[in-house]
Chain A
Amino acid sequence: MSLNRREFLGLTAVAALATPGLRLVELAQARAPEETATKLQRWGLLIDAAKCADGCDACVTACHVENGVTGHNRPATDPQWIRKVKIKDRQTGYVQTLPLMCQHCEHPPCVDVCPTGASFKRADGIVLVDKHICIGCRYCMMACPYKARSFIHEDTKDQKPHAPRGKGTVESCTLCVHKVDRGDNTTACAEACKKEGHEAILFGDLNDAGSEIRKRLASAPSTQLRPDLKLNTGVRYTGL
């Protein structure tokens, strides 16, 4: 097959037009249900503590409703996937609140210590507990510097179909993995915060240079909690 100059130029133009178009479609579309989560994405959150309102716990409520997290009104042992933390500067008396959940570390200590491999990190950076192989030893709870994990002490009922949870296993924030896989591109906590008008929580792909989270991280200072541990957390904070 030989091309004359005109045909060659025409084909090149078509290819040049089609390629970015395909790329855009690819980025905009959610992963198909049969596709594997890959390293191309690294999901994370950016939390603006300056916008987090004292006394508001919309994110906590939304998370626990979304994932069917119930307790027995025993605060010491009831599970907590996300909690509000109040910090006070002892010198100045300045009080701040922030939501704290699993930080979805790149190097998660909970995965290091798990004797069965139940605690694992998905290719796209989400740290999860495979409750099928969790033996409830709670090493991960000890290892987590953020106290992000909870143990289920009692029989559970009324679980959500997308969030199985049962006695004798450890659980924590899943970064709303069912929503991520569905392509919602948000989490229950981020949605609730937005609905309250605070917009303190932003969900996104840390690897995608075009995502809002990446742009905000690149344009303003942010911090990890306990950066000294070098865990490279997927949850970042600003306004601290």
Chain B
Amino acid sequence: MKRNMKQFVVGGLAALLALGGLAAAHATEPKKPARVPVPAISVNKDKAEKCVEPTDVMRRDHMKFIQHQRDETMHKGIRTSKHSLKNCVECHADPKTGSVLGKDGFCATCHQYAAVTIDCFSCHTDKTEKRVSANEPASLERLVRLSAPAAGAKP
């Protein structure tokens, strides 16, 4: 019992020392900014071209526009491009990657900063139409798969 007590005291002292050391190290480090810096968003569009709504409106309400358009398109077949997700991607995709996701992607940068998890792109493509058709070699595999008779396929 006594030995246990001794171990406890020694352990406690060690922990205290370690904490002190950490605090000292912290004091000498350069001070970090209090908040995560606002990400620099590359808009990826021609300077002459304007977004479908003013920037402050888009910042606050873009999700409402997209959701409204989504129901109109899905259920009524209204396919105007003004507030469509496809239109967002066409304009804002990174010219290098052709995507709105990734490290510097237009959608990803901001949502990551705001800790918003969106699931648009688990179904919708994050690439522009041009990029998608450029990726056609992927469909070759599909063609091969389809032309091979599938043994266990549904009747």
Contact = CB atoms under 8 A, between A and B. Distances in A.
Contact of A130 (B75, B78, B146, B155): B75
Interface residues of A, number: 48
Nearest to B123: A166
Name, among B132, B138, B145, the residue most crowded by chain A CB atoms within 10 Å (CB to CB).
B145
Interface residues of B, number: 34
A157 to B, nearest CB: 8
Contacts of B138: 70, 158
A76 B141 CA distance: 18
Q: Is the interface of A mostly helix, strand, loop or mixed?
A: loop
Given A158-B132, A161-B129, A36 B152 contact: no
Contacts of B81: 33
Nearest to A158: B138
Given A61-B143, A177-B77, A85 B124 contact: no
Contact of B74 (A36, A132, A158): A132
A175 B143 CA distance: 20
B146 A60 contact: yes
A164 B124 contact: yes
A34 B142 contact: no
Contact of A169 (B76, B123, B143): B123
21 contacts: A31-B77, A37-B76, A61-B147, A65-B142, A70-B138, A70-B139, A71-B142, A75-B150, A78-B145, A123-B76, A130-B74, A131-B123, A158-B135, A158-B138, A158-B139, A161-B129, A166-B119, A166-B123, A167-B122, A181-B79, A182-B79
Given A37-B76, A128-B74, A132-B70, A161 B153 contact: no
B76 A36 contact: yes
B131 to A, nearest CB: 10
A57 B147 contact: yes
A145 to B, nearest CB: 13
A161 B78 contact: no
Contacts of B74: 128, 130, 132
B146 A36 contact: no
A36 B122 contact: no
A155 B122 contact: yes
A170 B26 CA distance: 53
Contacts, number: 98
Interface of A: 31, 33-37, 57, 60-61, 64-65, 68-71, 73, 75-76, 78, 80, 83, 85, 120, 122-124, 128, 130-132, 147, 155-156, 158-162, 164-167, 169, 177-178, 180-182
Contact of B78 (A33, A70, A75, A78): A33
A204 B16 CA distance: 81
Contacts of A85: 155
A73 B93 CA distance: 31
